[in-house]
Structure 1
């Protein structure tokens, strides 16, 4: 690019149900920064739940957008391992030198999703035509990937983090409760790990998508999902259950789906209002049950997510519901609230 842009156009939430398109100067590149021309950024639950007023604690104005990818168009003076033209996925930006960052866990850094110098909450600026990032938060992608699919790197990393904790093995039975984008992403990864995957859902469009993707499907509004899991597993129950819906009833069902000994349950989703997890301490003791929580992905998880998407081992094309330009961000947020899968903000789509 002969002349680099001086300003960036971005979206920020200013209050419940309202976003604005604003401009700000592009920050000066530090030694290890790069300037990225964004290709796509998908609307995450973190984003649209604040649009709905469910995450007011995150603050305003919120310049979010973290499920993104783009092309590097300028380099800081000391950048060596990236070059102009590289397609990269956005990772988590930490301080880079605290114990959490040094161990590959920037989502545990105190500066993670902190306020920008000019007062924007979350300060990630993924919903922008240009953004500046440090190279320690970037991961190279196959440039031939559809940008809206490449933007699944971050959510896929969070799924991989949880799946590694669950220690899923080939031929095990894994139940995923919820066939939304994160539920089906969990289901895809569990299948890639060699498990037999059952998906429980109550909404017809999501049930249909899960069927088309080849999973065993339980319509939880038409039949008892716990009873059905027991039938499918010849009375044994599931080796592992993933709660991909933040709902007390769903969590109760998930615990009941587990086999009598050594069952594993993963609390994948956070919910507002907060769901309850009703588990007997004696059951955990006598059944030797394992309960896991997961949040975000490590740097290693991001690397694995890039490999899975770049090689086609995980195909997320069915999870992109619609694409909108940045100027229609208000409509895009509403579509995310009303829809079933990811709404993608695209920039300069060819």
Structure 2
């Protein structure tokens, strides 16, 4: 059966997502037709739905945490075949200086910043079918559910951050925040041989962290700094990963890490923007490292795929039980935007 159209979810304004239909783009020789099976709602997506990221523009055919099955391949595609389960990495141009150096693409005519000829922004990840460049797709273990395989993108962002943080086996790492990204960071750091302590305020998230086997710290029932000092014999953590963004968390992190050569990774973002107040002499004399991270490179996607495919990182506990069809994408965004939720998956 020839597939001529695609149905897709689109944000049209603050608080409103709907389903539309458009002609399916023609598949080129280096491209792949994918039957997309699941797309998980990322924080970026539901923040725009909430009106916190209006600068991204409308109409936004958003989404980027997606997985599906190959339907057909172009004549120059050699590494994929119909029936392969794949997940979506970033769409890159492959020719800009940044791509050539193995870094993130800076070409605004490619990927999520591109505006389609019919006026849509985004990557059309909440769609039943899509045509993708073969270089943007990575094979996934078919034993993973589509919703699990779709975690490749957020896990790739975690891999990028841990690479910048330079974690080493036997180091103590404090992960602040036991949401989806916090527990992905915690699992990946543990897989790299670190001792991981997870700090969280919400009891149900603390319980999930416990069930994953982590040392946990209830930040509402203790002084986090004092507790970390107790757990590390007064030394402090080698590194802290801030998977939530808040002014209070930013300030506490300065005291969670060891006095000299401590490292802090600012993984999360928030709106309005949190602040941090620190004397530059403190950074100087303590040799503190304040590290930012965002996105991922292709090598990070490959590592993330390996972690999922080999079962090193388990993501099933991070998927909400309620799953939504494409026709109910508005309800899906409403649940995803509810505080305390893990990933909400839209089945396509």
Please confirm whether the aligned pair reaches a TM-score higher than 0.5, indicating the same fold: yes
Distance (Å, rounded) in 1 between the aligned partners of 2:106 and 2:241: 23
d(CA) in 2 for partners of 1:304 and 1:85? 22
| Matching residue of 2:335 | 335
- Offset at 1:107? 4.5
The equivalent residue for 1:91 is: 89
Q: How does 1:1-350 map to 2 (within 5 A)?
A: 3-110=1-108, 111-114=110-113, 115-122=115-122, 124-322=123-321, 323-338=323-338, 339-347=340-348
Measured in 2, the distance between the counterparts of 1:189 and 1:107 equals 25
1:88-129 deviation line (CA, Å, top 9, x unaligned): 11011122211122223234433341222211122x011000
TM-score (norm 2): 0.96
Q: CA RMSD in A?
A: 1.1
What is the rounded CA distance, in whole Å, between the counterparts of 1:254 and 1:103 in structure 2? 33
Alignment check: 8 A CA contact 1:198 1:216 kept: yes
Does the 8 Å contact 1:104/1:299 carry over to 2?
yes
CA contact (8 A) 1:166 1:266 kept: yes
Q: Is the 8 A contact 1:107 1:297 kept in 2?
A: no
In 2 relative to 1, CA 224–282 (structure 1 residues): closer, same or farther, beyond 3 Å? same
Q: Distance in 2 between matches of 1:35 and 1:138?
A: 11
Number of aligned positions between the proteins = 344
The answer (yes or no) to whether the contact 1:181–1:342 under 8 Å persists in 2 is: yes
Runs of 4+ displaced beyond 4 Å: none
Mapped contact 1:107–1:296 kept (Cα < 8 A): no
Distance in 2 of aligned mates of 1:4 and 1:78: 20
Q: Call closer, same or farther: CA 1:107–1:250 in 2, change over 3 Å.
A: farther
SS of residue paired to 1:101: helix
Counterparts of 1:106 and 1:36 in 2: how far apart (Å)? 23
Distance in 1 of aligned mates of 2:5 and 2:45: 23
Q: Which moved more, 1:73-82 or 1:62-71?
A: 73-82
